[in-house]
Chain A
Amino acid sequence: MPSDQLIFTVTATVLVVIGLGSMAYSRNLIKTVMAFQAIVFGANLALFSSGLGSYSSYMSQTFVLFSILVGASVEAVALAIIVVIHRKYGTLNPWEIRKLKH
């Protein structure tokens, strides 16, 4: 078990935990997308570090590559939806949007 792999695994988990936590208390949808980006970073780093301990890292690097592009696509759509929401409701606070809906 190489120690750099351990370090990266811990970092990845911490990134996911921070992302989930700030998503839970987010009062702004842009912040939510940033938190999502942190979670994607964590996931990619965990995938990448899993390749460090094995004979060949081809597979893990391939999947990291795909995961990066998929994460970026999802985030782009989320940002576009945020623009639409802002035009419709005039605010980006999810708690206020919830109130406006009723």
Chain B
Amino acid sequence: MIYAAWLIWAVPIISVPFIPLIGMVSQRGRNWFAVLASALTAFIGFYLAASFSSGMTESSIIWLPIFKVPVQVLVDGTSVLLAAFISFLSFLIVLYSVGYMKGEKGQSRYYSLILLFVGAMLGLVMAGNLIQLYFFWEIVGICSAFLIAFWYDKPEARRAGLKAFVVTRFGDIALFIAVLIVLANLKTTNYASIFSAIGSKPFGTNTVLLVGILLLIGAMGKSAQVPLHVWLPDAMEGPTPVSALIHAATMVNAGVYLVIRMFPLFSYSSTLLVLVTIVGLTSMIFGAACAVVSEDLKRILAYSTISQLGIMFASIGVGTTLGATATYHLISQGLFKALAFLAAGSVITATGSRNVEELGGLRKSMKYTYIGFLFAMLAMSGVPPLIGFWSKDWIVSTALTSNVVAAILIALSSVLTTIYSFRALFKVFYGKSKLPNEPKESSTVMIVPIMTLVVSVTVGWLVLDYQRLVPFNITIDPLTIGMSLAAIASGIGIVYVAFSSRTAQTQSLMGRNAPLIALRKYLLEGLGFDKFYGFLYSRIVLPLAKTSSYLESGWLGVNMGLMLASVLLIIFLVALKVI
């Protein structure tokens, strides 16, 4: 069984160099080789999940003997469950890509990066120490930046890729410093030894607090939490399967996984838990509010991801279930968000438009896509008995027992969730078609993953209830069910009145309300975070860069003279016994 834990991330990474080689011979062969590799990964994932009994097993190979850094895999319930989930979801997404990317240029690059991305994420989940986690964390980051900028002849795509890379870098630096602090204090970054050392002498309260804050900043960068979220809405410039992979399976889940994995450290200090909760709740409300006004179909889904990840952070911060609620919601969010993205991609390939105002009436012409999107939106709003209902209501119930404010805020945000989900659904699939010609349903290879995900969203909670990797003992308060049903009903009601039944009247009614229009404009700009960062860049970073450019004059003589001067300075200092 331990071999499966190594193979699950080695198989995708090893198959990366073969993809361009096979691509030289046959295009079709390369596509199906990528599908085969990811299918093998998914099979290993399920085998690992089936053969896992209980407890926590480690297996390591010495890698850097001087620094005592082993390559480790950690097999415990959470990592096995997430690895199986990620490999399953990425298999479906690679299969979908075969249909979506048909006829595109640069597919060898695409499939190699996708497999590297998936392999790195699986390696991150299975990693047994922080250094290895950081290594895979960086691979995940760079792969996502390259995949977002996949259509590099579009300037927006290049810009979005660069933005994702630069913004997540802030988080990465924080994580790196945290890893270094742990290494300096404990001489090891093994999870078990970190947890056993918490509170004792070299790793006291203040150090734990510092490390926890830095880890939280790292997780915020990767998981797109406010204020490091600005890359995620722009990341929509990439191909849709990449968005699905980033939002559901790989990139953004890394941050949540880090916080779940380090939960013993976070729970040591109540300040840290409060910070995690505040970050989560802010992102939740911010993302939901922006998603309500956004006009780009994929942007709506992106803001909803920020909101859902905020719920996960908040549920970790509430801290009654050791992160199990967050794990559950991570899986549930992954399933319905992947379904939503795959259906949205099907809409985009059929119509060529992403703007919800230009779409409409696709219900009849794209039946399977409609079913997929409908189930995704129902699960996202938390309609029972779909998987979203169980995850969200379990979070609200656990929060009710310890942090009532968080519980009420989460319940209120589900009104917003329902509004944006059903707004997207109504605008795209109901009403009159505004397109010049009738769109066609997508090919079978794209429909099969969508239908598989529809089934998973529907019966996923049964599977999660049956498995014994992470025992989820879901207990839902009747009060919670009432609250969430009321929220869903009110949300659907508002959306129905506003967008479906009497659109013209409500629009003229809202058109006269100046504060509402101002709020809408403000939200469309994402609350001005981009503007603020642009201001910081032009006022602080650019002048500093200009100032430092005086040192690099480009004169060979000046540069060599400076180098000579510094060499002589060092020699003088040695002679004077300063160094």
Q: Do chains A and B make direct contact within the complex (CB under 8 angstroms)?
A: yes
Please report which residues of chain A, range 54-102, place their CB below 8 angstroms from some CB of chain B when the two chains form the complex.
94, 98
B556 at the interface (CB under 8 A from A): yes
Distance of A94 Cα from B554 Cα, bound (Å)? 11
State which residues 539-579 of B face A: CB under 8 Å: 554-558, 560-561, 563-564, 567-568, 571
A26, B556: Cβ atoms under 8 Å?
Answer: yes
Task: Tell whether, in the assembled complex, residue A24 and residue B557 are in contact, meaning their CB atoms are under 8 Å apart.
Answer: yes
Other-chain contact of A23, B554, B556, B568 (Cβ < 8 Å): B556
8 Å CB contacts to B: which residues of A1-60? 13, 16-17, 20-21, 23-26, 32
Closest A-chain residue to B568, C-beta based? Answer: A17
- Contact call A20/B564, Cβ cutoff below 8 A: yes
Q: Looking at chain B's contact residues, is the secondary structure mostly helix, strand, loop, or mixed?
A: helix
Residue of A with least CB distance to B566:
A20
Contact A32 B568 (CB under 8 A): no
| CB nearest neighbor in A for B560 | A24
Complex Cα spacing A26 to B555, Å: 11
Cross-chain contact B563 with A26 (CB below 8 angstroms) = no
Q: A17: which B residues are within 8 A, CB to CB?
A: 564, 567-568
Chain B residue with minimal CB distance to A18? B564
Q: How extensive is the interface on chain B, given as a class?
A: 10 to 19
Residue of A nearest to B557 (CB): A24
Q: CA A21 – CA B564 in complex, angstroms?
A: 7
Across-interface contacts of B564 in A (CB, < 8 A): 17, 20-21, 24
Taking CB atoms, residues of chain A closer than 8 Å to B556 are 23-24, 26, 32, 94
Q: With a CB–CB cut-off of 8 A, which chain A residues contact B567?
A: 16-17, 20
Bound complex: CA A94 to CA B556 (Å): 8
A22 and B100 CA atoms in complex are apart in Å by 61
A24: chain B residues within 8 A (beta carbon): 556-558, 560-561, 564
Bound complex: CA A24 to CA B557 (Å): 4
- What is the bound-complex CA distance between A6 and B563, given in angstroms? 24
Query: What is the distance, in angstroms, from A18's C-beta to the closest C-beta of chain B?
Result: 10
User: Are A23 and B560 neighbours in the complex by a CB distance under 8 Å?
Assistant: yes
- Minimum C-beta distance from A85 to chain B (A): 13
Q: Which residues of B contact A26 (CB under 8 A)?
A: 556-557
Cβ–Cβ < 8 Å partners of A20 in chain B: 560, 563-564, 567
The CA of A24 and the CA of B558, in the complex, are separated in Å by 7
Q: In the complex, what residues of B have CB within 8 A of residue A16's CB?
A: 567
Contacts of A98 in B (CB 8 A): 554-555
**Chain A residue at minimal CB-CB distance from B556:** A94
CA distance in complex: A24, B565 (Å): 11
Closest to B561 in A: A24
Taken together as a complex, chains A and B put the C-alpha atoms of A13 and B574 apart, in Å, by 13
* A25 partner residues in chain B, CB cutoff 8 A: 557
In the assembled complex, which residues on chain A have CB atoms less than 8 Å from the CB atom of B571? Answer: 13
How far is it, in angstroms, between the C-alpha of A17 and the C-alpha of B567 when the chains are bound? Answer: 8
- Across-interface contacts of A32 in B (CB, < 8 A): 556
- Nearest residue, chain B, Cβ from A20: B564
- Give Cα A32 to B555, complex, Å: 13
Q: Which residue of A lies closest to B564 (CB)?
A: A20
Cα(A32)–Cα(B558), bound, Å: 14
Q: Complex formed: what's the CA distance from A94 to B553 in Å?
A: 14
CB-defined contacts of B555 to chain A, threshold 8 Å:
98
Q: Which residue of the partner chain B has the closest CB to A27?
A: B557
Within the assembled complex, what's the spacing in Å between the Cα atoms of A26 and B564? Answer: 14
With a cutoff of 8 Å between Cβ atoms, the chain A residues found around residue B558 in the complex are: 24
* Alpha-carbon distance between A20 and B559 when the two chains are bound, in angstroms: 10
Question: Which of A17, A23, A25 has the most chain B CB within a 10 Å cutoff?
Answer: A23
A16 and B555 alpha carbons, distance in the complex (Å) = 20
| A78 smallest CB distance to B (angstroms) | 12
In the complex, which residues of chain A have a beta carbon less than 8 angstroms from the beta carbon of B563?
20
Which residues of chain A are within 8 angstroms of B568 by Cβ–Cβ distance?
17
Closest B residue, CB atoms, query A94: B556
Residues of chain A contacted by B557 (CB below 8 angstroms): 23-26, 94
Shortest Cβ distance from B575 into chain A, in angstroms?
A: 11
- Cα-based distance from A17 to B560 in the complex (angstroms): 10
Q: Which residue of B lies closest to A13 (CB)?
A: B571
Complexed CA–CA distance, A13 and B575 (Å): 13
**Residue of B with least CB distance to A32:** B556
Closest to A25 in B: B557
A67 vs B558: C-alpha distance in the bound complex, in angstroms? 27
Residues of A within 8 A of B561 (CB): 24
CA distance A32 to B567 in the complex (A): 18
Q: How far is the CA of A13 from the CA of B554 in the complex (A)?
A: 26
In the assembly, what is the distance between CA of A16 and CA of B571, in Å?
12
B residues contacting A by CB (< 8 A) are 554-558, 560-561, 563-564, 567-568, 571
Interface residues of A (CB under 8 A from B): 13, 16-17, 20-21, 23-26, 32, 94, 98
Report 23 cross-chain contacts, Cβ distance below 8 Å, ordered by A residue: A13-B571, A16-B567, A17-B564, A17-B568, A20-B560, A20-B563, A20-B564, A20-B567, A21-B564, A23-B556, A23-B560, A24-B556, A24-B557, A24-B558, A24-B560, A24-B561, A26-B556, A26-B557, A32-B556, A94-B556, A94-B557, A98-B554, A98-B555
Given A23-B557, A24-B558, A24-B560, 16 more pairs with CB closer than 8 A: A17-B564, A17-B567, A17-B568, A20-B560, A20-B563, A20-B567, A21-B560, A23-B556, A24-B561, A25-B557, A26-B556, A26-B557, A32-B556, A94-B557, A98-B554, A98-B555
Q: Which 5 A-B pairs have the closest CB atoms?
A: A24-B560, A20-B564, A24-B561, A23-B560, A24-B557
